Amino acid sequence: MARVHTVPQILHFFLYFSFILCCFTGFVSANRELNEDNWREILEGEWMVEFYAPWCPACNALAPAWRDLSTRATRKALGVRTAAVDVTKSPGLSGRFVVTALPTIFHVIDGEFRQYKGPRDVESMLGYVEDQRWKQTDPVPAWKAPHSVQMTLVAEFFKLSQALRSVHNMLMETYGLPTWGSYLIFALATIFIGALLGLVLVCIIDLLYPPRRSDKVFVSQKELDKRARGDQDAKEKSDDDQELINDDIVDDDENANNSDAEKNSPSDSSEEEKEKETEGGGDTKAADPVDRPEVRKRRPRKAD
């Protein structure tokens, strides 16, 4: 008889334990901890995502309300799930979502992101989802969406900065290097990596766009001598032509001066004297060679 009463009690205890386990499982799954590997789960369905840090006082103050939001949303079967991101463990996600203050809350539905900026009490956050007040908030633009290519690059830079910070702390704490020593190592590494990348880039450009090769023209020594003689003859001819031009200029200047002197001299002889001079022209010698200016002889031109 005692055994008959024991079986229902065990059955009731098993059902109660199963119910508690289901509720606890639903609660744990509702508070999903996101990281770099599983964050894309929020691209499907409706989510409320919190970004926090363990050292943040405001984040610690929000923690009870956030747990209450998860519990009440599960009880009401609103279909919304909650998740949290620890920025100290996943710095790439904080860069991907452009988190500038803590805590930061996002509402996500089918890959569409909206930042929640309302009150942080349970009723306000629950009404934001239940009454669909998120429709009054503008979504994050496409170029700033966390799953876009450019934000993926930003996330990689954030992860790189976190890795460099870890190396910096390791150099100072483990190896006892001073701060300036760690910075010096980073500076030398940056210069080396920059030079290496520049060399690789130049090689790639030369491979894709090789420089043009100039066509070489071979000239014999005989042709070179001929060209040299031609240049020398042309130079001598040019010098002779220049001397002839200078001689012509000098002759023209002398003739112009003589004509001006003849115009300015007074004529004292009369017409009779001119006739006598004409008649006696055979007896007396004309003084033309004396009076005339000397005629400058031109240099003979060389034959071409």
Q: Which residues are catalytic?
A: 56, 59
Token readout for 192 is 């080396």
List Cα–Cα distances, 59 to 80, 101, 120, 249, in angstroms: 21, 10, 11, 103
Burial class (CB within 10 angstroms; exposed 0-12, middle 13-18, buried 19+) of 124? middle
Pairing state between β 31-34 and 80-86:
parallel
Nearest partner of 83 among 112, 108, 119, 110, judged by Cα:
108
Nearest partner of 140 among 104, 98, 79, judged by Cα:
98
Specify the 3-state DSSP secondary structure of 193.
helix
C-beta separation of 53 from 59 below 8 A:
yes
Q: Which residues contact 148 (CB under 8 A, 6 or more apart)?
A: 142
Nearest partner of 244 among 300, 162, 182, 163, judged by Cα:
300
* Sheet with 104-109, side-by-side order of all strands: 31-34, 80-86, 46-52, 104-109, 112-116
C-beta separation of 121 from 72 below 8 A:
no
